[in-house]
Amino acid sequence: MAKLDPIVSEFDTEEDAEAYDKWFRAQVEAGLASKGPWIPHAEVKARTKAILDKYRDA
């Protein structure tokens, strides 16, 4: 198990990095294959801001 330099990688080992990469790619593929409705980026940002503002003000 090779240790990675924390300056170069956020993962402790190459195995951790590879496992994350595999998981991330699967998530992207699932998203691209999804038949659900697409939400425009600006709308996602607005929804996220509203949620954050709600909890920030609470």
Q: What is the pLDDT of residues 29-52, one digit of tens each?
A: 999 999 988 899 999 999 999 999
Q: What is this structure's pTM?
A: 0.57
Q: What's the chain's length in residues?
A: 58
pLDDT at 53: 96
Please say if the pLDDT value at position 21 is more than 70: yes
**Rounded percentage of the chain residues whose pLDDT exceeds 70:** 90
Residues linked to residue 13 through DSSP beta bridges, in sequence order: 3
The mean pLDDT value of the chain amounts to: 89
Distance CA 44, CA 50 (A): 10
Which DSSP state fits 7? T
pLDDT at 28: 96
Distance CA 15, CA 53 (A): 38
